[in-house]
Structure 1
Amino acid sequence: MRLIVVEAAAEVLGNLPADEIPVPLRQIARFRPQSRAKQGAVPIAGQLETNAAFRDKVARPLRDGQPELCAALEAGEVPAAADPVRLAALAYLLRPRGWTEHVETARAELERVAGAAQEAETARTVAALRDQLAEARTARSEELERMRSELKEARTEIADLRRRLHDEKRTAKAARERAENVEKRHNTDRAETLTALGAADKELKGLRAKLGQAEAALESNRKAAREGRKLEDIRLRLLLDTLVEAAQGVRSELNLPAVILRPADLAGGVDPSAAPAAGRSLSENDPQLFNQVLALPHVHLIVDGYNVTKTGYGELPLADQRNRLISGLGGLAAQTHAEITCVFDGASLDGHIAVQAPRGVRVLFSRPGQIADDLIGELLKVEPPGRAVVVVSSDQEVAASARRAGGRPATASLLLKRLGRF
């Protein structure tokens, strides 16, 4: 009832002129209708209780909307079908004679309805609890049956585990016994090993002593060998000096010229008069051995010219390639005093080429129809047996030909590295 009265007052409050609104409710009158009923319920109820003029203004729309009910309420004749709550709200606002009875009747009706509703709810709750109890009993029976089944399975599993535990204990006991036996054998083997190690150490000490004696004897032998070689070197040097002095005496007696022709001067090459051909690939040799060979007396170094230049600086024009190689060979001749012959392929040359060969360097071109490899072969053939001859070429055929003739082959890259030191 109180809610109905407050909602009706909140609705009327928004339609009243500002001067007719009670002062405590003027602020609430600015709210929306829903907010007025919620937030202003207490002050609105207070004004309805104490302000009769405001109460009449609130009752006026209800009187206009339900004139017959209001008239019957004021005449004391209430329709039997009227809602007691709404009737109590009208009685509270209109305040006819005996209005409190209507309010009390509405309150009793509400209590009765609430009690009936509570009893119905209680009955529903009791029924639901009974259903839940029945379900719980059924579930408990099922759970009890399941637990009995699980207990039976657990007892079976425990019996199986006990049997397995007994087997494991027996197996563990046997394993401990085997371990003890193994440990005993290990201790026995360890003692035997230590004994063998002691004997081996003793034998090793004896071997080391023998090794020291052998090293001392070896060093003594080496010293004796060095002294023997020194004696042989002295004898060989004395013999060599004797031969040199004898050769000088023969040259002086026969009045031989100081400079004679070399075998390579008689080879069938031609003067520089043609253009060069392309060279081939190279391979590495021992540089120390190369230097040792160049230091031999009267060594003859034969160079496959274009094979070397194409390997080292093939990007240069042919004339620059020749000049660069010949210049480097001149420095090598001055340093080693070796006889050097540089052979170029002249088979395709059709004009005269001026070449300034430095001192100690002979420059040859192959004849028309002949390749440089053939000219190198002729140079090897005219050399006397036993003379030191080195052929520089990365051509495998040229190297093989040099070996067959008793010469020493060397790669083009080896000569280029040697020339790069100048």
Structure 2
Amino acid sequence: MSEVEHRHLRSALEFAVLIATEGQKRRPPLNFPKELKPFLSKQRISTGALGRVRRIIESDGVFRSAISAGALPELVDDVGRLWLAGESGWEQRAGSLLDAEAADNESRDLQRDLKRSEKRRVAAEQAAARIQAEVLVRDQSIATHLTELDELRADVMKATEALSEVRTELIDTRNELRHARDREAAAVRRADAAPSDAGIAEARPEAATPNATHDALVAAEASRAAAAAQTRLEEALDASRLFTGELERLLTGADDDLPGRSTAPSSTSRRSERTPIPLPGGVISTSAQAAEHLVRSDAAILVDGYNVAKLGWPGRSLEEQRDALLNRTENLARRHGADVTIVFDGDSVVGAHANRHRTVRVVFSPAGVTADDVIRDEVERLPFDRSIVVVTNDRAIVDDVRRAGANVVPSNAFIATL
């Protein structure tokens, strides 16, 4: 059985002092122990003075009985009313009430701890399910890339064989052209020798005429063959150039899809191609107006979680700061349809807010990785044609993300929009 301590009688003791305070204002005044006068002007009896007030009231049985009649349950708890009544065995009954109250409190504490444990278990299971889903998606993506890689390799083999055939045809065409040119040169030489044989042709016209005609026909044929060969050679060269360009494109595409090789543009290209969102005229980039304008845009918003939370709610615990930021950012995202990702340091609480925040994406950095590094990776990962807004006061990442073409909003300006 619990012992009835002074603190258990606080409601009855303060009630007695209140009655004495009001009673002295009556005419005639209520009789009360004079030793209570130092306590009449106090709003609340200090813990150290409870024992003294108790002894004063217990020493005056008449006053104690008088106030016992007016001790309503709304003003005095059960233990206090038992003490004021002072009936025989009141301490045992009061001790039983205190034991029952302690048991109820312990039961409520156990139930609260059980609910917290259950929430943590559900969060852990959800986090595990998300990770498993991501693994399956990654495996499917790898399988798809491997299939595409096999198809590209087959295309490269076919292209290589086609290129070999083109080279062979090109060699044959060049040989044919060379032979045609040799025949043309021989025909020209015979044509040059024809005037020296003119006298002989006049003496023997019947013999000269057929030879001259034959030479002219040979020369014309050689010229046509040379022209045709030249045309085929030019066509073959054009086809070879086109095929070589297509082959280089296929080979480049195959290299880009190799596992482990990123298909995203290089960081230099991304930084040069992404353009920050322009602000309206007269709006300062570090102001709340600029933050409001950028939040309303269709940009991906990356928030340095603890950098903002600690600035916005410095007097709260770390968990309360995190909850405050998530609740307000959730409302902001719903109002404007914003795409917001909040990045926190630490991996020990992954998934802790998955049930309560469905619009805002929450990311916790893995062990050994800072939130700054996660934000840098997010900026590099997103396509260069997607506008990005980074919310932070951390100079360690401000310069990096600005070079990558992102807008930067100070934490205090972002808090003003929440």
**RCO higher in 1 or 2 (8 Å CA, sep ≥ 6)?**
2
Asked if Structure 1 and Structure 2 have the same fold, meaning a TM-score greater than 0.5 normalized by the shorter chain, the answer is: no
TM-score, with length taken from structure 1: 0.30
TM-score, with length taken from structure 2: 0.31
- Who wins on radius of gyration, i.e. which is larger? 1
